Amino acid sequence: MLLHLLREQGLEPGVIFFREPWQPAKYEFQDRVIREWNLMVYSWHPEKSAMQQEGSEFEVQNWYRFNMTTLTCPTGIVPPAEGLPWACGLDILRRPKQRGLVMQHIDALWVGHKGCDSDPILGGDAGTRVEARVLPQEASLLFPLRDWSHEDVWQYIEEFDVPYDEARYEKVNGQWREKVEKRINADYVHACTACLDRRPDAPRFVRCPKLGMTIENVADRVPWVEAEKLSYMKD
């Protein structure tokens, strides 16, 4: 929606796209918009990754470096689903890494998060406590939607006929919502995390569907997000 707003004002910004390498079929909507709007899209690998867990909810938090600025974006994880490709949680954590993306002549980064957005594990306010975050010698971060509600966004989408991912969202009893089923939700990867469960009662030995054998729980041997929960959600 933010991209539509900017284009309506005559702006044609480049798009930073945190594309996951797994399950590319989940990006059919995004790829169609990229083609139809002829967008210039930039994507790259994270600088580092670490696990997050809250109860049975898992994420891999990824740190991306843009020039001298660090951004983070989580990989949401849901259990493997019958008939769908799935990934190994360790493979997601060990994805290729790179130092960052260097771009010249960038004045501002327009961020589409709203204050009412929150992460399933981190909670937070998506870092939208200010209208703009001025970064010395860097592109400033702008939060034009910080005061918008979810209802405001959907009202705009309906009023201006903005394309949306129909496989991900639905309107029920007059209210828009994200579908409970995550089969086509690009924010989540269907993945196995059996050997990464660090709850006290987690089994010490688990069956690995990738290797087809019993393996040890390795939760104590992988990096975890530190207690301060550094994230784009809380800054």
Percent of the chain with pLDDT over 70: 96
At 37 the pLDDT is: 97
* pLDDT tier at 125, thresholds 50, 70, 90: confident
Identify the three-state secondary structure at position 173.
Answer: coil
Among the residue ranges 105-109, 181-185, 203-207, 226-230, the one predicted with the least confidence is: 226-230
Strands 57-66 and 48-54: antiparallel
CB 128 within 8 A of CB 116: no
At 108 the pLDDT is: 87
Burial of 171 by CB count in 10 Å (0-12 exposed, 13-18 middle, 19+ buried)? exposed
CB-based contacts of 138: which residues, under 8 Å, 6+ apart?
A: 67, 68, 69
pLDDT exceeds 60 at position 231: no
Among the residue ranges 91-95, 101-105, 136-140, 201-205, the one predicted with the least confidence is: 136-140
Q: Pick the most confident of 41-45, 80-84, 99-103.
A: 41-45
| Contacts for 33-40: CB closer than 8 Å, 24+ residues apart | 33/163, 37/3, 37/7, 39/3, 39/14, 39/15, 40/12, 40/14, 40/15
This prediction has a pTM of 0.88
CA pair distance 180, 208, nearest whole angstrom: 27
At 55 the pLDDT is: 93
Measured CA to CA in angstroms, residue 93 lies from 70, 88, 97, 220 at distances of 18, 9, 10, 14
The chain-wide mean pLDDT, for the chain, equals 91
What pLDDT digit, counting tens, does each position of 148-186 carry? 999 999 999 999 999 999 999 999 999 999 998 888 899
pLDDT exceeds 70 at position 101: yes
pLDDT exceeds 80 at position 22: yes
Among the residue ranges 48-52, 86-90, 100-104, 171-175, the one predicted with the least confidence is: 100-104
Question: Which residues are paired to 140 by β-bridges?
Answer: 108
At 229 the pLDDT is: 52
* pLDDT tier at 228, thresholds 50, 70, 90: low
pLDDT exceeds 70 at position 44: yes
Measured CA to CA in angstroms, residue 190 lies from 42, 87, 111, 185 at distances of 24, 6, 27, 10
